[in-house]
Chains A and B, each alone.
Chain A
Amino acid sequence: MREGVFLVALALTVCLVQISPAGSAVPMAYKPDLMLVAVIWASLRTRLEIGMAFAFGGGMLMDMFSGSPAGLFVVIYCITFVVCAALNTTLSLDQPSVRMIAASMAAMASGAVILVTTWFSGPIDGGFLILFRMTGKSIITGIACLIAFPVLDRAMGAFSRVIGASQ
């Protein structure tokens, strides 16, 4: 329950950071997907049911605050959560370099899905530039993952100390 409260607060905070112009220290096209990073973090740190709920809620928020069709980010984040949680049982994702690669790959995959769905509404002109931007955005998301994980860990630790353990 308390873990859930933390994740709700986290989802709202990430959403606010993402939509505020202050969050765009990098150009909009290369803006890191911080909610994706939070979902990956949740996949390594929280229980499945709570983490999935977080991925679902976070996806809903992103759908609301981006131009994507409703439900797209819900699907992307839920799949990301499941894949990361599954991979974590075989590969240790909880190492900085692996986390960075995982976040970059997830961002690349989500970008590809969004590109395909956008393609359905009409051919997209852009070619190599779109691929370049997707790659750049994915790398930046991976770098953001490196910074965000320790921050989130500390925030969760502080929250646990103040509110109490989740068990």
Chain B
Amino acid sequence: MDEYDVLIVGAGVVGTAIGYGLAKRGRRVAMLDDSSYPFRASLGNQGMVWRQPKGYNHRPYANLTASAVESWAAFADELRDEVGIDCAYQRTGGLSIASGPEELAGLTRAMRALQSHFTSGGCEFEIYDRSKLTTLYPSIGDEVPGAIYTPYDGICNPLALLKALHHAFKARGGDYVPASRVNRIEALAGGGFKVFVEHGERAYRAAKVVLAAGLGTLKLAQALGASVPIKPNRGQILVTERLRDVNLLPSNILRPNQSGSLLIGASSDDVGYDTSLELVASANIANRALRIFPWLANVRVVRMWSALRIMTPDGKPIYQELPGARGVFVATCHSGITLAPVHAHAVAEAIDRDTFGGELSPFSMERFDV
């Protein structure tokens, strides 16, 4: 039976980033990936590397996000040096475009609150009023009062990121084991764990286990006596045909991708584990986008995705050792793209050293016990 220092359950962007970080630190790491394709959030997102306005009501999260975004360029370089894959990170600047005056007021309030967390600067933003916005986008919708512009926000290719992390994990000696859904984790008398995989009765031994299985983490943690409060939230994205003359900043409405398509999103529906596409949600996304950018009328949608975000009660990540299951760690969030550098460095280090201090300490589940 295979024996590892760390066994990671889940090979999406969170799991692979942590796995890569641990392998880089010299640990023997195995990463188990189940074969359940539909719930794969890593493949169903827009690839935003984004700050605004995350953490406006939660200083530690604001700081964590800022530190992730500031180190993203270096992280992309690191991956390119490791495995020659370009994550196409671009610090383009970002917009949150308001559909109406109330929304603009709300966005402004949030950004002011966010800015208050950064007393020594580094959280600039500009309020574009309608006249400024129309110099940027002359044919913007009539009802749009303005937008918030942030210079540090940007985009990457999330599929390239996942691919790069997989390659980097392997290059550093990690063992990737696909088609392996974990169905039981057993604590061993002398320390460490035995992890069982269904349909094949394979098992692996590891000193530590990391649960980074997105929504799959729920059941696994429960079996270990811990309750991790995560819920699915469905988001749909519309993907257009490839276009030219696309000079658009990524925004809350859409982002252009590397191929010249526009990713238009995103909805937010509580429908349990249902990833079937709903026309209602698609129609709503199309409607909102059309009111902001009327010229989208004659642009064709060629694909749609639906993916499940992993939502904690406050929307902020959970990073900690499971209470009552020492040696088992949980890492879950809904911003796995933005936070990738943090996962590869700080979170990997925390797991390695069994201690979640500094910027990670506020992200334990204890904050939910009021």
Q: Do A and B bind each other?
A: no
Which A residues have a C-beta under 8 Å from some C-beta of B? none
Which B residues have a C-beta under 8 Å from some C-beta of A? none
